[in-house]
């Protein structure tokens, strides 16, 4: 049986895809309406976008139109992913010899006619030094296609398995446990006190009051996050905790989720002490705003896939709740702001599996520690 001939350009494209997906960890992007081009993304790489143009470019005018279209798609990706800078490497496979390529804004352009061009291109040698050797295969023709397809499918299966493990529904036992503590304390305030709206009972069970904390009642910085004033206050916060906690415990895991929750409660209490030093405050709102901040951090790292959810759901909910915090009397808006900041910082410190780099986690730990020291200074020393 005769070996079927394979188009050399198709073979080169397959080799490049194999390298970027299996070696560099890029993921394909579906661009509706695009033809003869392949888009790949990896937002923590020197080139966040790789675009492989397989169509023939006849002349300068066609190249200019192609780059204009690329800029338009890049602008859409920027808006969707909240990205200000988006370095893109455009690889042209079929370019007329008299057409000159130049860098255009954030787009670097290179012409690769065959795998030997990879050894000569300075951008490739600088950013992807392993590529020239990695695109060499022993297999040829259909055997090469079969191997490359198999490798890419195996890589895709691994990524799909990671995503499945991340997003699959698990029982949020810790969320239910936290809700149970809040409800139990609420009931105990009626059994062993005069109810959840009595000031003495609130203080007895651990509500936040700046002078008491400064005189050694440090436990109030966290205990106040488990106390609520009135049934509606409890019902609203438990509803929010059930919705957000179920999602974030699932996404981060129990221990990371608990660290985010408690740290947000702590930063919310310290912020409240600093800017509402004379008030008595209680409630899980600071911790819940921390969960909103944590969801925002997660959504940002998965913004290629959750861009619409970020713009249509997560960010509007945060803005609306902050707006209501400042507009409705009796709400401790500073606890909300402190919790929100604490949630983002601790999420950065604990990290997202397979997304957050070690250096980002270290920066998150440092920023969380410095923020905590700053709030302690403001709450205990600066404010008298």
Give me Rg for the CA atoms of the chain: 27
CB 9: neighbour CB atoms within 10 A? 15
Sequence-ordered alpha helix ranges (H) in 215-309:
220-223, 231-252, 254-275, 285-301, 303-309
CB 76: neighbour CB atoms within 10 A? 11
Task: Let me know if 272 is a catalytic residue.
Answer: no
Task: Let me know if 269 is a catalytic residue.
Answer: no
User: Can you read off the two tokens belonging to residue 53?
Assistant: 């143009």
Which run of H or of E encompasses 254? Answer: helix 254-275
Instruction: Write the DSSP string, 80-135.
Output: HHT-S---EEEEEEEE-TTPPP--BTTEEEEE-SSTTHHHH-HHHHHH-TTHHHHT
CA nearest neighbour of 347 among 309, 304, 281, 292: 292
Q: Residues, the chain, total?
A: 384
Which of 18, 224, 336, 347 is catalytic? The answer is: 336
- Contact (Cβ atoms closer than 8 angstroms) between residue 384 and residue 328: no
Which of 196, 223, 264, 285 is catalytic? The answer is: 285
- Contact (Cβ atoms closer than 8 angstroms) between residue 367 and residue 346: no
Active site residues: 285, 336
């Amino acid at each position: 049986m005769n070996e079927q001939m394979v188009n050399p350009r198709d073979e080169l494209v397959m080799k490049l895809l194999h390298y970027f997906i299996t070696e560099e960890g890029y993921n394909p992007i579906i661009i509706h309406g695009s033809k003869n081009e392949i888009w790949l993304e990896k937002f923590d790489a020197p080139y966040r976008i790789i675009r492989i143009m397989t169509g023939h470019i006849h002349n300068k005018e066609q190249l200019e139109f192609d780059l204009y279209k690329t800029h338009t798609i890049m602008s859409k990706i920027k808006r969707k992913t909240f990205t200000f800078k988006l370095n893109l490497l455009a690889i042209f496979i079929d370019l007329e010899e008299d057409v000159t390529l130049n860098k255009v804004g954030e787009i670097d352009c290179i012409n690769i006619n065959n795998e030997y061009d990879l050894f000569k291109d300075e951008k490739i040698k600088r950013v992807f030094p392993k590529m020239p050797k990695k695109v060499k295969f022993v297999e040829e023709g259909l055997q090469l296609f079969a191997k490359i397809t198999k490798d890419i499918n195996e890589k895709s299966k691994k990524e799909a398995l990671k995503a499945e493990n991340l997003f699959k529904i698990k029982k949020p036992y810790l969320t239910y446990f936290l809700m149970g503590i809040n409800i139990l304390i609420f009931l105990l305030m009626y059994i062993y006190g005069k109810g959840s709206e009595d000031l003495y009972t609130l203080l007895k069970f651990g509500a936040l009051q700046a002078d008491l904390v400064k005189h050694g009642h440090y436990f109030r910085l966290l205990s106040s996050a488990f106390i609520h004033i009135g049934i509606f206050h409890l019902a609203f916060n438990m509803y929010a905790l059930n919705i957000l906690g179920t999602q974030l415990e699932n996404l981060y895991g129990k221990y990371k989720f608990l660290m985010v929750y408690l740290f947000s409660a702590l930063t919310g209490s310290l912020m409240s002490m600093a800017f509402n030093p004379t008030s008595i405050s209680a409630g899980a709102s600071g911790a819940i705003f921390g969960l909103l901040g944590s969801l925002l951090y997660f959504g940002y790292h998965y913004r290629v896939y959750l861009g619409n959810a970020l713009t249509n759901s997560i960010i509007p909910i945060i803005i609306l709740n902050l707006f209501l915090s400042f507009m409705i009397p009796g709400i401790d808006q500073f606890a909300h702001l402190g919790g929100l900041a604490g949630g983002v910082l601790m999420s950065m410190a604990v990290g997202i599996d397979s997304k957050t780099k070690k250096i980002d986690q270290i920066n998150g730990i440092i920023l969380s520690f410095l923020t905590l020291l700053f709030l302690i200074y403001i709450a205990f020393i600066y404010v008298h």
